[in-house]
A and B are shown apart, each in its own frame.
Chain A
Amino acid sequence: MRWVDLVIEALLRAPTLALLALAFGVGQRFGARCELWGGAAAAVAAVGAGWLSSATGLGPVANAAAVVPLVFGAAYLLGVFVTTRPEIAGDPTRMFTASSLLAVAAVAVTVLWRGDDPVAATGGGNLRELFGGPSVSVDSAVDAAVASAAILALGALVTLSRFRVRLVVMDRAPELLVRAGHDARQVSALFGAVTASAAGLAGVLAARHGALTPTAAVALTVVGAETALLGGLGSIPGAIGAAVVLSLLGTLGDEVRQGWGGLAVHAVVLVVLFARQGHVGRWSTPRWEAAR
């Protein structure tokens, strides 16, 4: 019975992981250059939610509703700031460096604000205690439903909406977007903010299963990148499948021996990378290829 509970718990956590992976993968697919933003946004949002919960006593839904728009606004402003100069916006290396610097600064400022201790960071206790409920519960199911809804919304944005056309054009030929009368900088910043918000929501949901600190941004970045690499950049079914596999591996591996779960996850991702010789593009689906 214990193993059944663990499997259910892992499956309920998978949508949150898939949402985090999509924030990485979709952002990279459409050139939002927000590779390090995801982990930082998730950790900062989680700490912010913990502080908000302890300060105001709001419930989880109100927490998420308050924190995610803040993450969106901050990421949008920072995205506009970073792309102010065309020398940076047009150079992937400088864009990566600048966005990484802002992510590092966000995490460091959060450490200054709340400290890097889990108790201090979450406002006086474990987030699970703040939000209430065991891991396998209605709360976990609600979290999975919220994450699934966010995945669907993000998927609809990048596959069905008219915004998708702008994203594809921005990624492949930004000058065409400008000629069509759109502001490529605004589109880039807006989409970066959308992916950062998705990552922030994933962070808030992940924090309900255990305390997160600001420097957990590194771990969240690693696990999000691993899931995105395993599932394929920007692939929604791939992200969900990879999240299920990695979530099961991590949960069951840790049950066998503490620490083995993470080791198994890293090993699988590295083996897959070696097997594929790093050609991540091979994971893309015909639909993506057609879009490109």
Chain B
Amino acid sequence: MSATDPPRRDEGDAATSVDPPTELPGRSGVDPGGPRSDAGDPGNPGAAGVDPGAMVGDPPLLPPAPDPLLPVGPRTGYRWPQVAAAVALFFVVVSLPLWVGQAASGFLVDLLVLVALAQWWALLAGFAGTPSLSGGFHAGVGAYLWVALVSWGGLNPVVALALAAMGTAVVSLPTGWLLLKLAPAWTALAGLVAGAAGSALVAGVDEPSQQGRAIAAVSSLGPTVRRSLTTWLAVVLGVGSVVAVVAVRRSRLGLAAIAQRDDPEAASTLGVRADWSRQLMWTMAAAAAGTAGALVGFRTGVVSAAGAFDPLLWAVPPLVAAAFGGMRSLSGPAIGSLVYVVSERLLDRPAALALCAVAAAVLMVAVPRGLAEHATPVLAARLRPLTDRLRFRVPSGSSTTPAG
């Protein structure tokens, strides 16, 4: 190997070959990546963990906490109990429409729609550094594409819903190309502008939409059939969104987005095509929002311009839910969505919004990493005796102590 060759991963990076420490990362001063490869190097004054500028008596510097957004190398952190639990949860969720009642069905639809929107919002904001308020625009586009396909195209409402999602994705390509060039906060504001423009355009062109356009093809379906179909479609939207978000997070797209977010210049120097990854995330998020907009139209049978494009319905709740649970973890948006939907059921909408927004802001200041990301290692430590006894292993990869 010549001097200019980059070091091979198995020479300098022992993170994937050394068993992780038993302590929680970032809590005990133990390097979570195992021993450093440059320890003891006489040519390196900073080797062996000694800081030449440190004063005697200074507390030891804690190692930087591992970036929770990065995939943990080979998937050694998961063991069969977790996989079994995930599979069981998956089947429980997808079978929910078979055994939930009428009241629970409405709750489930609200929850799954919000989970889907919040997951995509968290992916765009937490990974790509692009907070988006264009949910109203995309939901409205999806809803009115669906209306056009059902009312004027005569298509089956469910088939039209899938086509509306694809149509929203197509519409989002030029808007993403335009808006993603703005500064992140202005991308969000321009999304609001696009939603207002869409609402004004639809209300100006289609007068019945000002009060609410009833969809005859949906109204003719019986309430039981419509409720059942709505629940199934919500399950597909929610579970599909979570699976897609996980796939994106663990793919090169997710890494490219992180690189772009953390250091755009370095990312572009290394040839990372982060713009494409952000555009793809934007498009997928738009498709999910369009599906949600069409799904709510399918559920109610009435679509209005004000409701379909309303940012207070489509853009703000995902923001609040993702911020409540933590926008850089997978479970955070789900937790936030659950809290928000439950609050909305217990209180009225403004009270729930005020409560959750204040709580999320306080949580952001108190726990900047996010509630879920903060609680996971704490919960894992509390559950360690139980998990050790059951031969479980926590995701952080701590060693297993056999029972007895």
Binding site for B on A (CB under 8 A): 24, 28, 33, 35-36, 81-82, 84-85, 87-88, 92-94, 96-98, 100-102, 104-105, 108-109, 111-112, 116, 215, 218-219, 221-222, 225-226, 229, 257, 259-260, 262-263, 266-267, 269-270, 273-274, 277-280
Check B183 against A85 for contact (C-beta < 8 Å): no
Could you pull out 11 A-B pairs where Cβ atoms are within 8 angstroms?
A: A100-B319, A104-B316, A105-B357, A111-B354, A112-B354, A116-B350, A229-B190, A259-B204, A263-B201, A263-B204, A267-B197
Chain A residue nearest to B179 in the complex (CB): A278
Interface residues of B in 179-203 (CB under 8 A from A): 179-186, 188-190, 192-194, 196-197, 200-201, 203
Interface residues of B in 253-308 (CB under 8 A from A): 261
CA distance A201 to B323 in the complex (A): 30
Check A85 against B357 for contact (C-beta < 8 Å): no
CB contact under 8 A between A88 and B368, given known A82-B361, A104-B320: yes
Select B194's contact among A36, A98, A101, A270, beta carbons within 8 Å: A270
Chain B residue nearest to A100 in the complex (CB): B319
Question: B131 near A: Cβ within 8 Å?
Answer: yes
Check A269 against B193 for contact (C-beta < 8 Å): yes
Q: Which residues of A contact B189 (CB under 8 A)?
A: 24, 35-36, 221-222, 225, 229
Q: Mark B160-196, 1 if CB is under 8 A from A, else 0.
A: 0000000000000000001111111110111011101
Select A112's contact among B179, B193, B319, B351, beta carbons within 8 Å: B351
**What is the CB-to-nearest-CB distance from B198 to chain A, in angstroms, rounded to a whole number?**
8
CA distance A149 to B186 in the complex (A): 27
Q: Which residues of A contact B131 (CB under 8 A)?
A: 93, 96-97, 100
CA distance A221 to B311 in the complex (A): 12
Q: Mark B340-359, 1 if CB is under 8 A from A, else 0.
A: 00000000001101100110
Check B192 against A222 for contact (C-beta < 8 Å): yes
Chain B residue nearest to A261 in the complex (CB): B200
Chain B contact residues: over half helix, strand or loop, or mixed? Answer: helix
Question: B365 near A: Cβ within 8 Å?
Answer: yes
Q: Which residues of B contact A102 (CB under 8 A)?
A: 357, 361
Q: Which residues of B contact A222 (CB under 8 A)?
A: 189, 192-193, 196
CB contact under 8 A between A263 and B193, given known A105-B361, A278-B182: no
CA distance A35 to B131 in the complex (A): 12
Question: B245 near A: Cβ within 8 Å?
Answer: no
Check B184 against A280 for contact (C-beta < 8 Å): no
Check A104 against B193 for contact (C-beta < 8 Å): no
CA distance A273 to B187 in the complex (A): 12
Chain A residue nearest to B327 in the complex (CB): A97
Check B185 against A96 for contact (C-beta < 8 Å): yes
Check A105 against B181 for contact (C-beta < 8 Å): no
Q: A98-B365, A102-B361, A278-B178 are in contact. List 16 more A-B contacts (CB 8 A).
A: A33-B185, A82-B361, A93-B261, A94-B368, A98-B364, A105-B358, A109-B354, A112-B354, A116-B350, A226-B193, A229-B190, A229-B193, A262-B196, A266-B193, A270-B193, A278-B179
Q: Which residues of B contact A273 (CB under 8 A)?
A: 178, 190
CB contact under 8 A between A82 and B200, given known A97-B327, A266-B193, A277-B178: no
Check B368 against A85 for contact (C-beta < 8 Å): yes
Q: Mark B104-141, 1 if CB is under 8 A from A, else 0.
A: 00000000000000000000011001110000000000
Check B181 against A277 for contact (C-beta < 8 Å): yes
Question: B50 near A: Cβ within 8 Å?
Answer: no
Select A28's contact among B185, B357, B360, beta carbons within 8 Å: B185
CA distance A112 to B184 in the complex (A): 31
CA distance A29 to B148 in the complex (A): 42
CA distance A284 to B2 in the complex (A): 49
Select A104's contact among B129, B179, B357, beta carbons within 8 Å: B357
Check B200 against A259 for contact (C-beta < 8 Å): yes
Q: Which residues of A contact B196 (CB under 8 A)?
A: 218-219, 222, 262, 266
Chain B residue nearest to A278 in the complex (CB): B181
Q: Which residues of B contact A229 (CB under 8 A)?
A: 186, 189-190, 193
Chain A residue nearest to B178 in the complex (CB): A278
Q: Which residues of B contact A266 (CB under 8 A)?
A: 193, 196-197, 200-201
Question: B312 near A: Cβ within 8 Å?
Answer: yes
CA distance A229 to B194 in the complex (A): 13
CA distance A98 to B350 in the complex (A): 18
Q: Which residues of B contact A225 (CB under 8 A)?
A: 186, 189-190, 192-193
Q: Which residues of A contact B184 (CB under 8 A)?
A: 92-93, 96
**What is the CB-to-nearest-CB distance from B138 to chain A, in angstroms, rounded to a whole number?**
15
**What is the CB-to-nearest-CB distance from A273 to chain B, in angstroms, rounded to a whole number?**
6
Chain A residue nearest to B128 in the complex (CB): A93
Chain A residue nearest to B181 in the complex (CB): A278
A222, A267, A269 pick with most chain B CB within 10 angstroms = A222
CA distance A278 to B204 in the complex (A): 26
Check B319 against A97 for contact (C-beta < 8 Å): yes
Check B204 against A260 for contact (C-beta < 8 Å): yes
**What is the CB-to-nearest-CB distance from A179 to chain B, in angstroms, rounded to a whole number?**
18
A102, A108, A267, A274 pick with most chain B CB within 10 angstroms = A108
**What is the CB-to-nearest-CB distance from B302 to chain A, in angstroms, rounded to a whole number?**
20
**What is the CB-to-nearest-CB distance from A243 to chain B, in angstroms, rounded to a whole number?**
16
**What is the CB-to-nearest-CB distance from A24 to chain B, in angstroms, rounded to a whole number?**
8
CA distance A87 to B351 in the complex (A): 29
CB contact under 8 A between A84 and B365, given known A35-B186, A280-B183: yes
Chain A residue nearest to B126 in the complex (CB): A93
Q: Which residues of A contact B353 (CB under 8 A)?
A: 104-105, 108
Check B357 against A81 for contact (C-beta < 8 Å): no
CA distance A112 to B190 in the complex (A): 28
